[in-house]
Amino acid sequence: MTRRDIRGRRQQFEARKVRRLIRHIEPWSVLKLSLVFFLSVWLVFIIASVIVWSVARGSGTIDKVESFIDSNFSTDWEFNGDFLIRQVGLVGLILTMAATVATTVGVVMFNLISDIIGGVWITVIEEETTRPVTGSQPSETLR
C-alpha cells in the first residue's frame, strides 16, 4: 500500500491481513440501523413521487391520460393526486416496517445458525497498525 507524505514523496506502508470470526450480531443495533435506513429510503421515495407527480401534472401528461381513458371507455374518470400520494406513502411505510422486521429476524436467524456452524470467517486488513516500511521489500507489502 502506498501513500504520499507531506512533501509529495511516495511512502510504502506495511499492513497485516487478519482473519476474524463473526459469531454474533446484536439484533438491537441492526433494528435501529435498518429502521433509519429504510425510513430514509421511504422518505426519498415519497419526495421523488411528489416531484414526478408535479412534473407530470405540470407538463399535461396526467390530463392527456385522463382524456385518453375518457375517450376510450366513455367514463368520467380522473386521477386524485392527494389520494394516490397518501396511498403510496402508506404502502411504503408498511413495506418499511416489514423490511425492518425481516432484517432483524434475519440477524436473529444468523445468530442461531452461527451457534450451530461456528460463525463466519472474514479477512480484513488492519489499517490501524500500518507503519512505514523500513526496508524496500515490495513482496511483503500489500498492494
Q: Are residues 110 and 126 in the same domain?
A: no
Q: Are residues 95 and 141 in the same domain?
A: no
Q: Are residues 125 and 94 in the same domain?
A: no
| Predicted confidence (pLDDT) per residue in 73-130, tens digit | 877 778 888 899 999 999 999 999 999 999 999 999 999 999 999 888 999 887 655 5
Question: Which residues form the domain of 140?
Answer: 1-19+121-143
Q: Are residues 9 and 43 in the same domain?
A: no
- The total of structural domains in the chain comes to 2
Q: Are residues 72 and 6 in the same domain?
A: no
| Predicted confidence (pLDDT) per residue in 22-60, tens digit | 899 999 999 999 999 999 999 999 999 999 999 999 999
Does the global pTM surpass 0.75?
no
* pLDDT score recorded for residue 125: 83
* pLDDT score recorded for residue 62: 87
Terminal CA-CA length for the chain: 5
* pLDDT score recorded for residue 98: 98
